[in-house]
Structure 1
Amino acid sequence: MSSPWDVYDALIDDLPQDVTVVLSDRGTRWTRVVNSADGVGSAWSMKDTSRPAISVGTPDAGRPIRDVAALVRSWNLAEASVGQAAINSWYSRAEVAARNGFVPTGAGLTWRQVFDPYADAVTGRVVAIIGHFPFARAALHKAADLQILERYPEPGDYPDTACEYLLPQADYVFISSSSFVNKSAPRLIDLAVGGGAHTVLVGPSTPMHPLLLELGVDTVTGYVPDPEVGRAEVIASLSPTGQIGPGTRMHQHRTA
């Protein structure tokens, strides 16, 4: 990719022309978009609104999914959350994810278990995690050095600006896909893959598209919501809770 925007353009270019947005909801922690093909997409809600929104006064509902998805390019990050959720509303459809090569990770698995498969693999290794996952330290305690990088650091975390220094030296890098909203994902992937790290994208904000594997990511994890999550009343009740809602974790590994 010659430009970081190429990643976003490719994700938008593969969206259908004839699908529209039916509903969008900017929840406290999760932003959701429902499309006319019954797809539901989620993205981490970011509240940064320093730049003017480019869609002020324009309702999301009724617009082509590609138009709403283009909001991911906005530097008003609250608006960009809607764009990423619109992108994911297509790639998080079960049939689209399957067509793109993604398979269910396992029945009943939640995001709390996303690091568990790497518990032994990271033994004695340097591990960097983009995003503060409170359950990561327990799962990856065998790592020689566990580095958590966070935009709003908690005690023991590194500031996320340390990525330029730490990721090229890491053996394993786990990247929260909320980074697609704040536009840091392309650079984080480049730093991790370029340094030779085993690189994993995690979280419901992940667009399940094989492009990410072509960029060198080793494992892409995503999420397919249960069909009922698409109902307006369910979205309204879920948003304030901070919970992502019922669904199935999906993944795809890169083949050598």
Structure 2
Amino acid sequence: MDKPSRIYELLLDYAASESPVEALSIGLVWTVCKSEQIGLAMSPGLYTRTLPWSGTLVGKTLGELASWINDWEPYKATVGMAAINCSLNAQSLPAGITLLTPPDGSNLAVFEHFLPQLKDKKVVVIGRYPGIERYAGQLDLSIIERQPIGTDYPDPAYEFLLPTADWVFLTASSITNKTFPRLAELSQHATTVLMGPTVPWLPELHNFGINYLAGIEVVDPIKLYQTVAEGGGVRIFDNSVRYRIVDLTPDSSMAWLKTNISQDYNEKQRLTSAMEHWYASGKKGRFPEFNQLNQVAIRLSRMDSSYKHLWDEQRFGQK
């Protein structure tokens, strides 16, 4: 298992895009970033009237905003996460299972999918999902919530509950609020599902002890942006997004990595050729797309290392 805090380096390697931000909205529940693609992150849920950068973000690059993921100010980190997902969504989605919307709780589709496997298991859910209490009578279920209500456990309980859990459903907003490293470490002996619209689509999450990704595929980006901007929460699942489940087995992660490696290799070849033509034409100074070329090379190096790790794990049983 990789050191969980390295996830932030990984995210920034993937999100160093020069594409400009076309629109950004911080809604009541979700924050949405729009460029060539669209990306979501859960909003902090904190009231403020003093954000110093409001009105200045459109036109900045996704890479600029992505760097905010390392900030401890919750709104900046949220904008950073939305920009990261916007960058990642330019890649092809991995093979997986698209979940049909249950008639009485579309945001609970992930739990419905895994329900048969959760019987007689100790299940811990990080983050309260609207309507999740319906499973309390069916499962040995513990909910840990930053703002607990009813029988929810407060944040400190994860130190006690996660090490003995059989299944952990971990909200991807833990990446934004910087609790992911510790939560992933404590959950390493459980089957762990990283879930929610904030999930970044990265095969390397396998290296952090994540067994499944339960993220979203965008069905209607225009409707999604409108719904978020108008304060929508679970309503985004009505007609804007659907859950997709990806099983991060070594085989599936390797296949996903091969696809991403191929895409980035072709991009590296294109940029290298463009740079050669740039200098061959007698132009001086730095190649304008040098930063993009450098970032592609960094991503390829990381993906090659991750692929080798998975290959060794599969062939020799090395962890």
For Structure 1 versus Structure 2, the TM-score category normalised by the shorter chain is 0.7 to 0.9
Match of 2:198 among 173, 192, 205: 205
The aligned residue for residue 160 of structure 1 is 155
- Structure 1 length as normaliser, TM-score? 0.84
Contact 2:135 2:141 in 1 (8 A): no
The residue that corresponds to 1:11 in the other structure is: 11
Residue 3 (structure 1) shift: 6.3
How many residues align structurally? Answer: 242
CA 1:2/1:31 → structure 2, altered by over 3 Å: closer, same or farther?
A: same
2:245 matches 1:251? yes
Structure 2 gaps, min length 5: 251-319
Tell me if the contact between 1:34 and 1:230 (Cα under 8 Å) persists in the aligned partners. Answer: no
Answering whether residue 129 of structure 2 is matched by residue 133 of structure 1, we say yes
Instruction: Summarize deviations over 1:131-156 as a string: whole Å, max 9, x none.
Output: 0113334346432x211000000110
The percent of aligned pairs where both chains have the same amino acid is: 28
Greater per-residue helix proportion: 2
**Please, what is the CA RMSD of the aligned residues?**
2.5
Between structures 1 and 2, the one with greater strand share: 1
Cα displacement string for residues 105-142 of structure 1 (whole angstroms, at most 9, x for unaligned residues) = 23446322110122221211111000011333434643
Aligned partners of 1:61 and 1:231: how far apart in 2?
18
Distance 2:224 2:182 in 1: 35
Q: CA deviation at 1:57?
A: 6.2
3-state DSSP of counterpart to 2:18 = coil
Larger Rg: 2
Deviation digits for residues 57-92 of structure 1, max 9, x if unmatched?
Answer: 672211111110111111110221111111111223
Structure 1 156/105 Cα, relative in aligned 2: closer, same or farther at 3 Å?
same
Instruction: For 1:49 and 1:76, locate their aligned partners in 2 and report how far apart those are by CA, in whole Å.
Output: 13
Q: Give 1:70's match in structure 2, choosing from 32, 56, 67.
A: 67
Q: Which amino acid aligns with 2:64?
A: D
Paired with 2:224 and 2:45, the residues of 1 have a C-alpha distance of: 24
Flag the 1:239–1:181 CA change in 2: closer, same or farther, 3 A.
farther
1:89 maps to what in 2?
86
Deviation at 1:104, TM superposition (A): 4.5
* Secondary structure at the counterpart of residue 168 of structure 1: helix
Instruction: State the alpha-carbon separation in 2 of the partners of residues 120 and 17 from structure 1.
Output: 41
Amino acid at match of 1:219: Y
